[in-house]
Amino acid sequence: MSEHQREAGFLQGLISYHHTAESHKVDEEITRLKGQIRVLRRAVFWMVVLTALAVVGLGYAAMLSVE
């Protein structure tokens, strides 16, 4: 667990003690941002995978064209 994740968890724990509309709003915002970060990481992962496959495909095509 990274330092950022620990700090976010600590912050959410502190916010949960206050039962105000603002604290619920901040908690929902943190939850929404965590979801967006997860989606962004998945997108970056798949872009790296697809780029690697494209490079391998180009290398394979170059090897076939040499022969």
Token pair recorded at residue 20: 């105000």
Amino acid (one-letter) located at 4: H
pLDDT in tens, the chain (67 residues): 678 788 888 888 888 777 888 888 888 888 899 899 999 999 999 999 999 999 999 999 999 988 6
The reported pTM is: 0.68
Report the helix count and the strand count for the chain, using DSSP H and E: 2, 0
- Nearest Cα to Cα of residue 15 among 38, 1, 31: 31
